Structure 1
């Protein structure tokens, strides 16, 4: 039986202090060719957070992400979404609550125009065309892509395709949005555009999980960093704790963000350990304000003669 979505916005599910929005336990996941994609993984997404998965190629990031909405299922383990255990007969709940934007944007673009594409999921679930069109235009507006509604999806730029894919997920009003390598192949300007849209949807109360090789962006937008290596989550802490842990980064074959490298190379004694450019600039501005022309700091911070 087809599930009908009312024209009124769906009430977004929220986690509680005890129950995350999404929790995954995966003892193992083995691909048909025998490759072990993931093992001994425990992962959770809580309300109102941005989580970045980082790790070398082949570390298991995409495999983990595809378990969060039951695209893949553990050989042994359990997925719970908004407190509900997901079984083979209940994947629709996972896919409604956890919207997935794939790295290959073309794989999600199926309709002749952008507006038709964003409407597709709603109409497939039984929403009348006029209501679906209204909701689709609202979703496109959320990612500042309303001007694209009449375009043919496959002729869009890489960044535009990512935004349309994101709108197609947001229109279903999920609790969590998952993005697999959303900045791959994008130039800095378009990466920045996607970053701003991620911030916008997070500000509206949607949790975000993303995988990325761009640790500068991860440091800037993530509340929590999950480090993966050889199919397992080997660390799960704040950006500051992760990116200043040299042994951890070496184990995961990662280089720290630019700000962390500059801080170390310059020998700056910064107790707050900046991880973003803005944090480093703030520190340097404060240092400049408390030193005179000779570079000597005044003990009381007074810069007057």
Structure 2
């Protein structure tokens, strides 16, 4: 990465998109001081992060890695979600209560006695997310949260992202799935060659053909269909429900203009 300026606002979902090697994961790993910049600075909640206070970044910015196995270290799911809390000195009973609340938040309470490494990929992702939420961070970072998941597990993870956002937690995620980014993001940052090439709302970014071409990205399916149907000029749908609603409005309008063939005329 070079000359990157990136920020996250309270209660915001930011999606990083770009090709392989664009710098998405590298940027994410700087946000909680897993990596530290050679030049420039990381500021978390108004506090500049140095070698002396990296723990502040890691407490305020929870990181869910793409490979969930790297975060699963305990013999049971409940122990795993408690692990970070215990490291921060939270007493056992309080840690257990907070861990169970975090598992309930991601709809994974039924997994608490399971062995983590025997879980499915989607279940591991949810347990990793619960372990982060138990620490009550201001920001949750997810690196490719849908990678390797089937459609049903992807839907479940997407629902959890919306849920934690609704609870006032900022979310930053990287993804190759631009349909997913269009559904959940308030802002999209396009990365190319180790830098942020452009950013804006999903409508601004996904209808910017030159920006997407620079990053070797194809727009979400709703955008492609809207363009092919000549519906993209003003409404600019970026999700499937928006496209369906627009097509419905178009059909209603055409129906109203079509004369009736009933009667004597």
SS of match in other structure, 2:40: strand
- Say yes or no: does 1:122 pair with 2:85: yes
- Please state which structure has a larger fraction of its residues in strand: 1
Partner residue of 1:66? 29
Report the Cα distance in structure 1 between the residues aligned to 2:155 and 2:233, rounded to whole angstroms. 27
Report the Cα distance in structure 1 between the residues aligned to 2:204 and 2:91, rounded to whole angstroms. 49
Partner residue of 1:50? 13
| Most deviating of 73-82 and 280-289 | 280-289
Question: What is the TM-score normalised by the length of structure 2?
Answer: 0.96
Counterparts in 2 of 1:40 and 1:193: CA distance versus 1, 3 Å: same
User: 1:297 deviation in Å?
Assistant: 6.2
User: 1:270 deviation in Å?
Assistant: 4.3
Report the Cα distance in structure 2 between the residues aligned to 1:153 and 1:159, rounded to whole angstroms. 12
- Say yes or no: does 1:199 pair with 2:158: no
Partner residue of 1:274? 237
Counterparts in 2 of 1:268 and 1:297: CA distance versus 1, 3 Å: farther
Partner residue of 1:172? 135
Count of residues in correspondence between the two structures? 261
Question: What is the TM-score normalised by the length of structure 1?
Answer: 0.83
Report the Cα distance in structure 2 between the residues aligned to 1:145 and 1:212, rounded to whole angstroms. 23
Partner residue of 1:224? 187
SS of match in other structure, 2:255: coil
Which of 191, 203, 221 aligns to 1:240? It is 203
Alpha-carbon RMSD across the aligned residues, in angstroms, is 1.5
Q: Relative contact order: is structure 1 or structure 2 higher (C-alpha 8 Å, sep ≥ 6)?
A: 2
User: 1:130 deviation in Å?
Assistant: 1.1
Which of 103, 111, 120 aligns to 2:66? It is 103
5+ residue gaps, structure 2, are none
Query: Is the 2:106–2:126 contact (alpha carbons within 8 Å) kept by the matching residues of 1?
Result: yes
5+ residue gaps, structure 1, are 1-37, 299-304
SS of match in other structure, 1:292: helix
